[in-house]
Amino acid sequence: MDISAAEFNLRYKDDDTLKVIDVREPLEFQTFNVGGENIPLGSLIRDVEELDFYKDEEIVVICQRRSETAKRLLAQNGYTNVRNLTGGLLAIQKLNSKSFT
């Protein structure tokens, strides 16, 4: 099941159990991010066995295109509660810009 930008915004501010993995490249992450851990998709593929996450933790993966691949990879490696941020960071930016108008 994926997570919408609205649900993510509500939950991420107040829920310290929600784990976030941004699978974009470091430069993309530095340009704009919402927090979480930056693990580029290539690194995630290579190091999936070495993650410091519990397999039943709720994990949200973030990227416009690469997060669906990350979600499948994590699921294939036994992670049971992985969600994709629908619309990626663009959806977060659009939602946040509406709240300021």
- pLDDT digits 0-9 by tens, 6-53: 999 999 888 778 999 999 999 999 999 999 999 999 999 999 999 989
Assigned token pair, 62? 């973030």
Assigned token pair, 57? 């933790």
Judged by phi (left if over 0) then psi (alpha if -120 to 50, else beta), residue 88 lies in left
Alpha-carbon gap, residue 88 to 66, rounded angstroms:
10
Alpha-carbon gap, residue 40 to 38, rounded angstroms:
6
pLDDT value, residue 96: 82
| Mean pLDDT computed over every residue of the chain | 92
- Can you list the pairs that 37-42 forms with residues at least 24 positions away whose Cβ atoms lie under 8 Å? 41/66, 41/69, 41/70
Alpha-carbon gap, residue 40 to 99, rounded angstroms:
30
The CATH number of the domain where 37 resides is what?
3.40.250.10
Domain span at residue 50 reads 5-99
Burial of residue 46 (CB within 10 Å: 0-12, 13-18, 19+) is: exposed
Q: How many domains, in total, are found in the chain?
A: 1
pLDDT value, residue 99: 60
